Amino acid sequence: MNAGLQHGAAGGDTPQVARGLEGIVAAATQIAEVDGERGRLTFRGYDIGELAGRVTFEEVCYLLWHGRLPGQAEYDALRAEMSGARQLPAPALAALRELAPHADGMHILRMGASTLSLGDADIDRMDVEANQRRAARLQAQMPALVAHAYRLKNGQDIVQPKAEHGVAQGFLYMLEGEEPEPARVDALNAYLVAVSEHGLNASTFTGRVVISTNSDMVSALTAAICSLKGPRHGGVPGPVLKMLGEIGSADKAEAYIRRELTEGRRIMGFGHRIYKVRDPRGAFLSEAAEKMASITGDPSLLALTKAVEETTVRVLAEVKPGRDLYANVELFAALILHSVGVPSELFTPIFAIGRTAGWTAHMIEQMEETKIIRPESVYVGPRGLTWKPLSER
């Protein structure tokens, strides 16, 4: 009997479908472990707390793609490889110039990502080594796509990347045209590390499905971006920031939360399908936000976020007992990205920059599988219908 599908007793078959594939194990992976009961997230055996504040985003990329943290020579080689790959193909850049006035956010990212196969003569190669190199190239080009599209949309010239910049620094430089302060670079680096990988979520699964057909990595990346675009999966940090602005001060938090719950609205930044405790990425980003606030000297938004978290968890425990609803990564993601100073309409595209590391790692892993991902469905529609001529229908 297929997992997630059961049949009823003698009275007739009654299909029971695992809605959203919940509870279905669809892959065995060595990339990440998401432990919802204990609130733990590990990358290739490293707890995220072990990596927090100690590694660059590029080191995490290497870890996800190759299964180990890089040595100095490997790290330097990856930095050089990604630095040399940041320039977008000329036809891709031309397309971006044409499209940017007509689309923004995840729409332009979806279209732009699909052009990244241009100039790749070996795009259909399925061997692991070629796609590890391709993953590095795509990871390097994603920040350029987001930054260039935003500037073109706003009538600004693009800013060409600098060879010496890493991913976080390079993105802010291409976005703003000025050298970013180290504190902002560090905060964005922490954010990219935190969101780089998170198991078999909707967008990652989408990417693995596409690769399982022996399609190419750019097609799979584009499909993953399409999945992330949906507000049920991506796009939450913007509404979180809006919520914090509406609350305004800690003393107004409880009334706001209770009103939203009474009126049947979701509290942004709380609850997770997997985690039954506080999202470990939230703790990671909370620490990064503390450092950012100490440097900028403005702890007001951080203090408000903490107060909202404490109040919301308490109220949710009272109103929805047993649901185990805690803060998720998006609560502090909104705080970090706002503190870094990036426009809220770029919150989800920036998430896609970070998650490209995990997406491509899963694609590489899926390439070693021999079976296409092809789940089954249960037909529940009508039967026994007979055809009638058009004039009789």
Is the pLDDT confidence value at 237 over 70? no
Determine whether 263 is an active site residue: no
The answer to whether the CB of 309 falls within 8 A of the CB of 331 is yes
**pLDDT by residue (tens digit) across 263-293?**
998 888 887 767 677 778 877 788 888 888 8
Is the pLDDT confidence value at 16 over 90? no
- The pLDDT value recorded for residue 323 is 83
110 Cβ contact partners less than 8 Å away, ≥ 6 residues apart: 222, 225, 226, 229
Determine whether 272 is an active site residue: yes
3-state secondary structure of 345: helix
For the chain, the residue count is: 393
Q: Around 19, how many Cα atoms within 13 Å sit in the side-chain half-sphere?
A: 1
What's the pTM value of the predicted model, to 2 decimals?
A: 0.89
- The pLDDT value recorded for residue 103 is 94
Among 330, 338, 362, 365, the one annotated catalytic: 330
Count other C-beta atoms under 10 Å from residue 182's C-beta.
10
- The pLDDT value recorded for residue 3 is 44
Run of H or E residues at 28 = none
Average pLDDT over residues 302-315: 91
**pLDDT by residue (tens digit) across 115-172?**
999 999 999 999 999 999 999 999 999 999 999 999 999 999 999 999 999 999 999 9
Q: Of the ranges 81-90, 277-286, 302-311, 314-323, which one carries the lowest mean pLDDT score? A: 277-286
Among 198, 272, 338, 362, the one annotated catalytic: 272
Q: Domains of the chain, with CATH numbers?
A: 32-234+349-366 (1.10.580.10), 237-339 (1.10.230.10)
The answer to whether the CB of 217 falls within 8 A of the CB of 360 is yes
pLDDT grade for 364, boundaries at 50, 70 and 90: very high
**Choice between 322 and 203, residue whose per-residue pLDDT is larger:** 203
Is the pLDDT confidence value at 41 over 80? yes
- The pLDDT value recorded for residue 91 is 95
